[in-house]
Structure 1
Amino acid sequence: MNKPLLTAVLALLPTAALSATPPEGVPLEVRRGFFTEADIGAFFTLGGENVYSNAQTYVQLGVGVDVTERFTLGVHFGLGASAANCFAGYAPGTQLCGRTENFTVALADVTVGYRAPLATRFYLVPKLAAGLSRLDPAPTGTRDPSLSTTVPNAGLGLGVEYATPLEHFTVGADVLARYLIGPNIPTFAVFPRVKYTF
């Protein structure tokens, strides 16, 4: 091998070495930004003549944004039901509820969450929620019992969140307690979460 060719090959070796992926790999960064999520879990109410309702399916969809590395802001739409629990009281001398014992609860809330790191890519997430709830049919009140009613709600939640190695996906689980203001009904939703960050 002649000297000019050997010099050219040796000159290119550092460039090739720098362009290669480091042996230890590239650390994964948690993606933050706009996100959407879909959740399916269980929903029930507390209080009333029966103390608690039967657990029913809960479905929630949400969109939001990671405002900072720690804070999230979202809008969530949830749908659950209260089954076999009377909030209007029994008719005198009977076990018949004065209104419906079964009603749908549709929720539209603004949520704020704070991610507290517990381990690498794993977080504890306390949340605040506030918004409107539509009860159909209305379980309390003096209006036509076949009509629905819309009332405000406020709540607190606690969850865990894990940013998976799949760059866009985060999984977790939440417990969310909301209080329906007016009919004075506490509600609880328990659900796993699947979140996709764009």
Structure 2
Amino acid sequence: MKALASLALFSVLVVPTLARAQQSPAANNPVKDRPAETFNEIERGLYFLVQGGPSFLVNAPADTGPRPFSSGQAAHVEVGIDIGERLSLGVFVLGTANRAGSDYVGNSGGAASGDFSSIVPGVTMRAHLVGFADNQEVKRTFIYARAGAGFAMFSPKLLLPDSDILVFAGPGVEYYTRLRHFSVGLEVTGSYLISSGTVGFALMPNLKYAF
């Protein structure tokens, strides 16, 4: 009887303990949902930008003869980096092609006349001044100001042999689309060629991709 009593007591004390020890790891470590992956509503950082549109020179560069109003086209390619939400710095190459009549002789002294083009490498800075939030409280629309400078080289060389320094500035509006890497914008730019005193302006739609 004493042995039976001892066996019963052993069963009461030990068996539940063994049962708890043999519970599956899944019971001790319940499966949790994988954390949801989140994305930035707007990507900022290294970017690539293209823009182009009509451009105009109020007084085409020339040392003799007429300095006519000249219309043309401009194309601009830029690589840069966003520094936070408000500031961007970049390097660019700008190409222009302008119309001019046969009476325009530029700096050639009459040896050449007519249309001309330019290539301008340079640096630029953009500052977002005011941002507007959408209905999800995400600032997608910004009014900005951009300024920059570049080294203008003209073609044909016989018509405009001397290079010049181009400075420019102007306002624009940029909208960050729901395709979070892309933004689109429209910019009005005023320009000035320092040596020749040439004044110009351009209307430039643009497309930007941020990595």
Instruction: With the length of structure 2 as denominator, give the TM-score of the two structures.
Output: 0.69
Query: Which SS does the other structure have where 2:70 is aligned?
Result: coil
Question: Does 2:52 correspond to 1:36?
Answer: no
Structure 1 unaligned runs (5+)? 1-7, 92-96, 139-144
Question: Does 2:121 correspond to 1:108?
Answer: yes
Amino acid at match of 2:85: E
Residue of structure 2 in register with 1:137 after alignment: 156
Residue of structure 2 in register with 1:182 after alignment: 195
Query: Which SS does the other structure have where 2:79 is aligned?
Result: strand
Q: Is the 8 A contact 2:59 2:198 kept in 1?
A: yes
Residue of structure 2 in register with 1:69 after alignment: 85
Equivalent of 2:69, from 52, 63, 66? 52
Distance 2:148 2:68 in 1: 24
Structure-2 change in CA distance of 1:101 and 1:20 (3 Å): closer
Residue of structure 1 in register with 2:19 after alignment: none
Amino acid at match of 2:176: A
Structure-2 change in CA distance of 1:74 and 1:87 (3 Å): farther
Distance 1:98 1:52 in 2: 21
Residue of structure 1 in register with 2:143 after alignment: 124
Distance 1:175 1:87 in 2: 29
Cα root mean square deviation, aligned: 3.0
In the TM superposition, residue 27 of structure 1 has moved relative to its aligned partner by 8.2
In the TM superposition, residue 20 of structure 1 has moved relative to its aligned partner by 6.6
Question: Does 2:208 correspond to 1:195?
Answer: yes
Distance 1:127 1:87 in 2: 33
Distance 1:59 1:168 in 2: 22
Amino acid at match of 2:163: T
Distance 1:177 1:115 in 2: 18
In the TM superposition, residue 99 of structure 1 has moved relative to its aligned partner by 5.4
Distance 2:207 2:95 in 1: 17
Q: Of the two, which has the highest radius of gyration?
A: 2
In the TM superposition, residue 68 of structure 1 has moved relative to its aligned partner by 2.5
Instruction: With the length of structure 1 as denominator, give the TM-score of the two structures.
Output: 0.73
Structure 1, residues 140-178: CA drift from partner, whole Å, max 9, x if none? xxxxx3463311111112111111110111110111222
Distance 1:76 1:39 in 2: 11
Q: Is the 8 A contact 1:112 1:127 kept in 2?
A: yes
Distance 1:168 1:63 in 2: 15
Q: Is the 8 A contact 1:88 1:98 kept in 2?
A: no
Q: Is the 8 A contact 1:43 1:190 kept in 2?
A: yes
